[in-house]
């Protein structure tokens, strides 16, 4: 720490220097992130309420009430009634809480197991490890969806939790949430649906007239869900949400911090001190945009994703792994010179493009977030064409 304080102007200079290498959403080069530039109104509200601490909710009853309203609204978006839960730091924490609840509600299973497909986000595996739960990983079929025979075979007397994903991290696919529910019907198994990404996409795609199988609280077996405002909700980071159907879970299993100035409140969040500003800002953003506003954002992202997927389909040397379901576009390398996605990604990175690469599936993906516009996609396609050309002449196995 410096002995004397320095001027704000100097600090801004220093920050500009230090942050110079950070990528910027506005360049359109960040193609592989599920986050985006938060909505300007949300940023403004967030900065006005920075001191609100939901780690001590008794001191901030107004903020707490807003959190309850917000959870209820997100729950309703996902067809739940009087849903409980919290605004948390993101999808990883929400997934942890969902998995943790499965452990808390099954105290008598000595060797607990969780079943999820290999599409599951790393946070599911991390949570299971932290909680001493064995993961039974279900293999994927040729469409990158869980093999349902394998899923069924992995459920046994030790299974305390099954996971379904509505909007997979790699390809944005919606796993068969209802079919997974059928596998556990009548069994005492917790069902957690990870809609961290899809939660703020699929409901608006449905409003636009697209049809998807049910994926949310409409399915009675679904106990908890993750849905992240800081992904397609355009909220400030950190804003995630854990949604809980049973209104008694937090009261029954929650922890209390005995010394708080505002009094005792039960909670299942990992964090103690947590930002009320995230809650207030997203509540305000929902009021401002309304369902129609979010629908418009999703429509634009979807149009860009459709456009990109058509370009990829028509380009020799790359292909779509599967048709797109939401605004995530997968890319396979089909050049004859190398089928390695890493080779393609390396060249793209040299030109400043930051995609998400899934080495295990040998594919990359572009998440068409609100900061990505059609001219960015045109530039990307142009670079992709140049790279493929550079890699050799006869690439395609399509013809």
Using the rule CB under 6 A, which residue among 113, 194, 223, 319 binds ligand PLP? 194
Contact between 150 and 129 (Cβ < 8 Å): no
Q: By CB under 6 A, is residue 276 in contact with ligand PLP?
A: no
Q: By CB under 6 A, is residue 123 in contact with ligand PLP?
A: yes
Q: By CB under 6 A, is residue 197 in contact with ligand PLP?
A: yes
Q: By CB under 6 A, is residue 196 in contact with ligand PLP?
A: yes
- Residues in the interface with ligand PLP (CB under 6 A) total 14
Nearest-angstrom CA–CA distance, 36 and 38: 6
**Residues 302, 118, 155: CA angle, nearest 5 degrees:** 120
Using the rule CB under 6 A, which residue among 91, 164, 321, 370 binds ligand PLP? 91
Closer CB to ligand PLP, 95 or 269, in the complex? 95
Q: By CB under 6 A, is residue 163 in contact with ligand PLP?
A: no
Least Cβ distance, residue 373 to ligand PLP (angstroms): 22
Select the span of 148-156, 191-199, 204-212, 328-336 touching ligand PLP (CB under 6 A).
191-199
Q: Which residues of 54-66 are buried (b: 16+ CB within 10 A; e: fewer)?
A: bbbbebbeebbeb
Side-chain-side CA neighbours of residue 180 (13 Å):
33
Select the span of 90-98, 133-141, 143-151, 319-327 touching ligand PLP (CB under 6 A).
90-98
| Cβ atoms within 10 Å, residue 157 | 8
Contact between 244 and 250 (Cβ < 8 Å): yes
Q: By CB under 6 A, is residue 239 in contact with ligand PLP?
A: no
Going by DSSP bridges, is the β-strand pair 328-333/363-367 parallel, antiparallel, or unpaired? antiparallel
Going by DSSP bridges, is the β-strand pair 190-194/159-165 parallel, antiparallel, or unpaired? parallel
Q: By CB under 6 A, is residue 88 in contact with ligand PLP?
A: no
User: Element (H or E) spanning 228, and its range?
Assistant: none
Least Cβ distance, residue 153 to ligand PLP (angstroms): 24
Q: By CB under 6 A, is residue 90 in contact with ligand PLP?
A: yes
| Cβ atoms within 10 Å, residue 73 | 14
Burial group, residue 248, by CB count within 10 angstroms (0-12, 13-18, 19+): exposed
Q: By CB under 6 A, is residue 34 in contact with ligand PLP?
A: yes
Least Cβ distance, residue 164 to ligand PLP (angstroms): 11
Q: By CB under 6 A, is residue 175 in contact with ligand PLP?
A: no
Least Cβ distance, residue 87 to ligand PLP (angstroms): 12
Select the span of 86-94, 155-163, 313-321, 390-398 touching ligand PLP (CB under 6 A).
86-94
The residue among 203, 250, 231, 232 whose CA lies nearest residue 98 is 250
Select the span of 2-10, 98-106, 194-202, 270-278 touching ligand PLP (CB under 6 A).
194-202
Closer CB to ligand PLP, 14 or 23, in the complex? 23
**CA 173 vs CA 17, 53, 322: distances in Å:** 40, 36, 9
The site string for ligand PLP over 284-313 (x = CB under 6 A, - otherwise) reads ------------------------------
Q: By CB under 6 A, is residue 95 in contact with ligand PLP?
A: yes
Q: Which residues of 166-198 are buried (b: 16+ CB within 10 A; e: fewer)?
A: bbbbbbbbbbbbeebbebbeeeebbbbbbbbbb
Q: By CB under 6 A, is residue 228 in contact with ligand PLP?
A: yes
Q: By CB under 6 A, is residue 229 in contact with ligand PLP?
A: no
Nearest-angstrom CA–CA distance, 250 and 272: 15
User: Footprint of ligand PLP on this chain (CB under 6 A)?
Assistant: 34, 90-92, 95, 121, 123, 165, 169, 194, 196-197, 228, 240
């Amino acid at each position: 720490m410096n002995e004397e304080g320095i001027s704000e102007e100097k600090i801004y200079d220093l920050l500009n220097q230090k942050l110079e290498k950070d990528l910027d959403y506005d360049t359109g080069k960040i193609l592989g992130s599920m986050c985006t530039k938060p909505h300007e109104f949300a940023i403004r509200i967030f900065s006005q309420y920075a001191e609100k601490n939901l780690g001590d909710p008794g001191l901030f009853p107004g903020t707490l009430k807003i959190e309850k309203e917000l959870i209820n609204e997100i729950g309703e978006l996902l067809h739940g009634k009087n849903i409980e839960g919290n605004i948390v730091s993101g999808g990883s924490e929400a997934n942890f809480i969902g998995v943790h609840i499965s452990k808390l509600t099954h105290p008598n299973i000595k060797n607990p197991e969780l079943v999820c497909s290999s599409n599951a986000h790393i946070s599911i595996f991390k949570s299971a490890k932290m909680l001493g739960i064995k993961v039974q990983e279900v293999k994927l079929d040729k469409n990158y969806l869980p093999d349902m025979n394998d899923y069924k075979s992995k459920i046994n007397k030790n299974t305390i939790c099954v996971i379904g994903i509505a909007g997979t991290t790699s390809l944005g696919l919606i796993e068969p949430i209802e079919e997974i529910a059928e596998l556990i019907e009548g069994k005492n198994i917790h069902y957690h649906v990870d809609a961290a990404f899809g939660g703020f996409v699929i409901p608006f795609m449905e409003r636009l007239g697209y049809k998807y199988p049910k994926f949310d609280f409409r399915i009675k077996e679904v106990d908890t869900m993750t849905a992240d405002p800081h992904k397609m909700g355009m909220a400030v980071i950190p804003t995630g949400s854990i949604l809980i159907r049973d209104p008694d879970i937090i009261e029954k299993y929650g922890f209390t911090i005995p010394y708080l100035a505002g009094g005792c409140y039960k909670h299942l969040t990992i964090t103690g001190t947590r930002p009320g500003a995230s809650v207030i800002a997203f509540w305000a953003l929902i009021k401002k945009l309304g369902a129609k506003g979010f629908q418009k954002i999703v429509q634009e992202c979807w149009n860009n994703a459709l456009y990109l997927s058509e370009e990829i389909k028509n380009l020799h040397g790359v292909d779509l792994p599967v048709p797109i379901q939401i605004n995530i576009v997968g890319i396979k390398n089909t050049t004859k010179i190398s089928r390695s996605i890493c080779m393609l990604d390396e060249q793209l990175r040299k030109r400043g493009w930051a995609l998400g690469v899934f080495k295990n599936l040998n594919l990359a993906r572009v998440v068409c977030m609100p900061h990505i516009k059609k001219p960015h996609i045109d530039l990307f396609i142009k670079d992709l064409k140049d790279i493929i050309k550079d890699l050799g002449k006869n690439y395609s196995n399509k013809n």
